Structure 1
């Protein structure tokens, strides 16, 4: 959750075939035909410019083509066209991530529309696990491994030549044991679908109410995934996936979302207690398209201009309730230290504090963060502003906070606007599962 924002890079046979899923037919390996070594350095630099802290690269999509020289199948770069035999995408990408100080992750589709063993136990033990092992041992430290939920069959998640090869994805892949194996090889790697959840849509938003807790047996739907489960037994935060264009893989006609559109997505994902993984698709020349680079750079500029100058840092804070004994003072919320926090006593599930900015400021956003290491607690809060500490105006009202909640005026993410003039910010925690623990309050 502290990584917050990272990239996704879809590249492979679909890039050259002009397709999105690669599941309608088995591609000829020669259709993957890079004419020069893909410029993964440029891909990662583009994502770094947007303010991302890591990146996940596609290593095998649903078509089954492996973008590294693997011993698990001959359907890989070794037998591709052009200079494919010289291309090892996870190697190139991991080196680029290291250069730019970015965390490195991999995507490996569990579903394999081409492998003859798919839907048998042999596929899981001799193909899928071997691929996982290669990616987990040959390319350095991973912060995330992304699996995807597609699993063959007919309909949206199926292919015309795989309609009879369906499986029960909850049991077929033996997720518990696979996850354990991954952690043995990569102790700091989080596993898709086991330690974080898909938010339920690909449109770039999480619910305004978003619990990090989840019930893994809940019906997989936009509503349940987007909101989470207040009393869910698993800590399984939401991850929002979204595209900078309209498709996952590059096509020549793709238009990029504007920097303002991407900033809105950031507010509605990272700003709603979720992490954001944003897809940036390279073209068939192995380059990140100029229009995508422009939007990513513009997003990085907006994030810096709008969310980097914290006017509340080291500001004076007073609270009506403070936990005793111990160091739980209100000043912990503005000390710049994420490990300290303000708290109330155990029997107090509400609380109020006021931040004095020292002088009149123009305010656009107020950010609240719980000390999430001790659980997500807050169920309701209000934010008010004042110029004189006497007359108060409503700024925004919310439900959950979690790791981070970024609140615009009236929780309206559609426009940056002219801002609100205020010197004082008053936050009321109106409901909480247990005594609230607030680690950080920021004002931008």
Structure 2
């Protein structure tokens, strides 16, 4: 296998911008909220939709407090009820008593996102249990494209168009063959900077709704994984609650190692993963689940495995029937935001040394936290920081970067990130710590790195950390490196 060819697969500009968002929110809200269901049957009376206290600013403030950078709204779920006054169906907020029939939830959430500095995305379910043309081929495609066009032209910039593969029609139900390529073309024309997620070519569903993550997540995978019908077949098929608790299938835990790519070398794509789960057992709000909000530490663990595992994290937070997030959800989001901020703030300042790996070579050192950018300097912040990525000599058998601390410190994690504009190149990385007696001990290791890999371990006192890039697909290009001190 030509390893350099694997590294030559690169992300698009929209995929790069999406990856840097890292963590954003999902808001499931609609007729199901009013009827206390997950999958509404369609045709519920629009008069049921009347969230008297709806406050989109409250939603967005809570998401931002958690450290999120965007919000995706379920503009239409499977029941077909539209949260905006669509011109192609009467089953919308315009037929409800809310805001006197003149309301537009999509506009309110998009506006709140802009006011608070978050990006806005849309979820538009392809499956529609109300629309009469569903299952009618081109007629439904026309209907769906009309709704997609409304959402992409009325509400400003869109960062994500989230296309769900779920469908519970069953063997005797209506079946619609979606014209996916037509849908994609509309998105590309009207919102060229938006990623098309899940049943789309830009962002790959991680394969479960439980927050489970792979040991190694690769962004370069076989093109066959983009097949929307394949994705739909693996999506939820029944409203029984069990699907949300299932882990990643055992036959899909390795999608991008050299062994997994064998036979696909000539048909590879950049298709990075998104981890999506809900803060509650359900996706919509159910009063019976008010005591089942997931705790901060559980969500922080998912954050570390997803954002720290070359994926983005999409966390659903559902408002209640009155149009407000419950206090329990808001409190957990605030706690999660503090936990994430504290983790980032404990980055240890260090002097950075790069070594060629050749015996007898003299390494070059410079302060890792101060001074002007220099050729080969490792960025200590988010990708795109002023400092340039480090690229060792192509002939280097064991590229290494060392962080030397001013004194011994108890650290609990090391963050490593590649410059993914140059592809995903690292295939195995080893992190070692230097003890007080000078011995180096292994703290952690991983295969895939990509945009960011956060390796966690039991706190250990060391006065330096060394990252060894043991295996690669091409010369590695390291964009970020940081050690995280353990909380006192």
Q: TM-score, normalised by structure 2?
A: 0.81
Q: Which has the higher contact order (CA 8 A, sep 6+)?
A: 2
User: Could you say what secondary structure the match of 2:469 adopts?
Assistant: strand
Give 1:166's match in structure 2, choosing from 144, 153, 175.
175
Query: Alpha-carbon deviation of 1:362?
Result: 1.9
Question: Could you tell me whether the CA contact under 8 Å between 1:338 and 1:439 is conserved in 2?
Answer: no
Give 2:35's match in structure 1, choosing from 1, 17, 42.
17
Counting only pairs closer than 5 Å after superposition, residues 407-418 of structure 1 correspond to structure 2 as 407-409=455-457
Query: Alpha-carbon deviation of 1:9?
Result: 0.3
Alignment of 1:282 with 2:310, yes or no, is no
| Deviation readout 1:391-417 (Å, 9 max, x if unpaired) | 0111111110010101101xxxxxxx6
User: Could you say what secondary structure the match of 1:127 adopts?
Assistant: helix
| Deviation readout 1:355-405 (Å, 9 max, x if unpaired) | 112221221110000000111111111111013583011111111001010
Structure 1 residue aligned with 2:85: 69
**2:21 and 2:401 mapped to 1: Cα distance?**
28
Structure 2 residue aligned with 1:249: 284
User: Could you say what secondary structure the match of 1:267 adopts?
Assistant: helix
Structure 1 residue aligned with 2:347: 310
Counting only pairs closer than 5 Å after superposition, residues 21-420 of structure 1 correspond to structure 2 as 21-23=39-41, 26-36=43-53, 38-83=54-99, 85-154=101-170, 163-167=172-176, 172-192=177-197, 193-218=200-225, 220=231, 222-223=248-249, 227-230=254-257, 231=261, 233-254=268-289, 255-312=292-349, 315-321=351-357, 331-334=377-380, 337=385, 340-348=388-396, 350-388=398-436, 390-409=438-457, 419-420=459-460
Query: Alpha-carbon deviation of 1:14?
Result: 0.5
Structure 2 residue aligned with 1:423: 463
Structure 2 residue aligned with 1:414: none
Distance 1:225 1:109, change over 3 A: farther
Query: Alpha-carbon deviation of 1:202?
Result: 0.7
Distance 1:40 1:196, change over 3 A: same
Question: Could you tell me whether the CA contact under 8 Å between 1:200 and 1:226 is conserved in 2?
Answer: no
What residue ranges of structure 2 are gaps of 5+ in the alignment? 1-18, 235-247, 262-266, 359-372
Q: TM-score, normalised by structure 1?
A: 0.89
Tell me the C-alpha RMSD between the 2 structures: 2.2
**1:420 and 1:84 mapped to 2: Cα distance?**
61
Question: Could you tell me whether the CA contact under 8 Å between 2:374 and 2:388 is conserved in 1?
Answer: yes
User: Could you say what secondary structure the match of 2:465 adopts?
Assistant: strand
**1:374 and 1:281 mapped to 2: Cα distance?**
38
Query: Alpha-carbon deviation of 1:107?
Result: 0.6
Query: Alpha-carbon deviation of 1:127?
Result: 1.1
